[in-house]
Amino acid sequence: MPRMKAIQAAVKVMEKEGVSVAFGVPGAAINPLYAALKAHGGIGHILARHVEGASHMAEGYTRAVAGNIGVCIGTSGPAGTDMITGLYSASADSIPILCITGQAPRARLHKEDFQAVDIASIAKSVTKWATTVLEPAQVPQVFQQAFHLMRSGRPGPVLVDLPIDVQLAEIEFDPDTYEPLVPYKPAATRAQIEKALSMLNASERPLIVAGGGIINADASDLLVQLAELLGVPVIPTLMGWGSIPDDHPLMAGMCGLQTSQRYGNASMLASDFVLGIGNRWANRHTGSVDVYTRGRKFVHVDIEPTQIGRVFAPDFGIVSDAGAALKLFVEVAREWKAVGQLRDRSAWAAECQGRKHSVDYLRKTHFDSVPMKPQRVYQCMNRALGKDVCYVSTIGLSQIAGAQFLHVYQPRHWINCGQAGPLGWTVPAALGVRVADPARKIVALSGDYDFQFMIEELAVGAQFKLPYIHVLVNNSYLGLIRQAQRTFSIDYCVQLAFDNVNMAEGEVARGYGVDHVKVVEGLGCKALRVHRPEEFAPALAQAEAWMAEHRTPVVIEVILERVTNIAMGTEIDNIVEFEELATQPTDAPTALALLD
């Protein structure tokens, strides 16, 4: 049996499990792993500037491509605690990432050693498994179990904590005979699918709610097949956006309190039956359970048994991987359609589609004011970026307005931190997406505060040649919190504006504060500033030319008016529209954010 250091065995296991790159920051307690990575030579490494940034890069890497598992690495103590936000974000959105931390020697764990912290206990509530390995011989199997757990059932993150003496101990391990464990995924039965379809068939105005579990299962094609067989409109959740193209006739819009379209909410309220697949009934999607469920029946399909009934009790629940359930749904629906057993839904589908092109349900985007309104920025993005763009965003008015006005046409082309929504997530996540797919057209979207949180990670993009475009909408406010403070009639501690004495008059409106152009360029990237709608497309062309030549991120900063309230409300039937609605519809399939 070959003998090697335990940490060398861990690297061999990662290779066998498909790991080809890791994101992290080296340190004293994890240097043995870095030595093993260098000696191995087959696993690349991206050096983050902040360990939280490494965890979000791992998230972006996982979210971008089916089958990926991002790996983030840090030393002992604060490196692990810095990655807790990334673990929480991954856990909340069912994203598998592997976090590896160094640790003090076993004999000193109870002596309050320098940078020694019980990171496994800290991480337990935001991981599927968090463990400190105390026996060197267990290292290969602990890593094997980590990958098995991340892929089984509801996906999620794992943390493995390695005392430095455990890493350095010699063990026996034969990598040539190693095989990954087959992940466990529950599957629906035919009887369950037939019952669910019978309930749908008995309804008058059914909808399918498509959650992020469909994208996790790489089953978007099956979703579209099912919708077309049944003729039933689809409402994707924010995490399921892209599972059906925005211009598909059966895409009915999104529903919710913030990241939704008026026509999506209206179709939900008009429905009498909902088949939810791979979704959590998140509160930003539902609002109150009473309003959301009133007058309609529900079937809920989810891979995690404890999700069934967590928010409200459905009329029928099915524990199943979304892909396995959809495959059987399609099979049964095809059989029923062949014998005329499915009802004709064309009138209901046409009603839902009609809302998408009716001025009664469309928000205005064609504002000519300068500084620009955010609605006009998204109109410019829709016109200039095309249908193959992949958006990356996290939280704030920028993300909310983006979800209301932008369009997504493919799965994994809306990379979004859905439940946790940590500020600063966007830059490192976009870099992780770029590592996962070197050819994809990536456009990140941030407000100025999200952008400033982890702006230092742009240097990673410059160092490792990871180009992408970052649209920065700058109103010098914590915009979402400012809007929320209206409830208390205050505008307090949410202003980012100040007179920057280093900025020349005319560079930007006085009082906008941070000179993002100088900061970005100081980090080795390119920045462009846009004031007017007609400047956006030329800036985009300039950004693309820069990336082709220099292979670094490019930031397009758009100066917004300071205060714009974005449509949102307390219930899906009580959304406040702060701006006027559109006055002229269009049938253009790539411009559903309608213009005057």
Q: Are 307 and 240 in contact (CB under 8 A)?
A: no
- 25, 33, 319, 460: the catalytic one is 25
Q: Is residue 51 annotated as a catalytic residue, yes or no? A: yes
- Integer Cα distance of 297 and 541 in angstroms: 49
For residues 379-412, b (16+ Cβ closer than 10 Å) or e, as one string? bbbbbebebebbbbbbbbbbbbbbbbbbbbbebb
Nearest to 272 by CA among 252, 303, 295, 304: 295
Does residue 260 contact residue 568 with C-beta atoms inside 8 Å? no
CA angle 528, 424, 97 (to 5 degrees): 125
Peptide bond into 245 cis (omega under 30): no
Residue of 73, 100, 142, 423 marked active site: 423
What's the one-letter identity of residue 452?
Q
225-230 contacts, C-beta under 8 A, 24 or more apart: 225/326, 225/330, 226/326, 226/329, 226/330, 226/333, 229/330, 229/333, 229/334, 229/337, 229/342, 230/200, 230/206, 230/333, 230/342, 230/345
What distance in Å separates the CA atoms of residue 224 and residue 240, rounded to the nearest whole number?
Answer: 12
Chain centroid to Cα 40, Å, comes to 32
Residue with tokens 């399909």: 301
Set 11, 13, 473, 478: catalytic member = 478
Question: Given 19, 51, 480, 575, which residue is catalytic?
Answer: 51
Which helix (H) or strand (E) is 119 found in, with range? Answer: helix 119-123
Active-site hit among 291, 481, 494, 519: 481
Q: In the annotation, is 98 catalytic?
A: no
Token code pair at residue 420:
């946790």
Whether 250 sits among the annotated catalytic residues: the reply is: no
Residues in the chain: 596
Q: Are 23 and 82 in contact (CB under 8 A)?
A: no
For the chain, report the end-to-end CA distance as a whole number of angstroms: 73
Please indicate whether residue 226 is annotated as part of the active site: no
Annotation marks residue 423 as catalytic: yes
Residues designated catalytic = 25, 51, 423, 478, 481
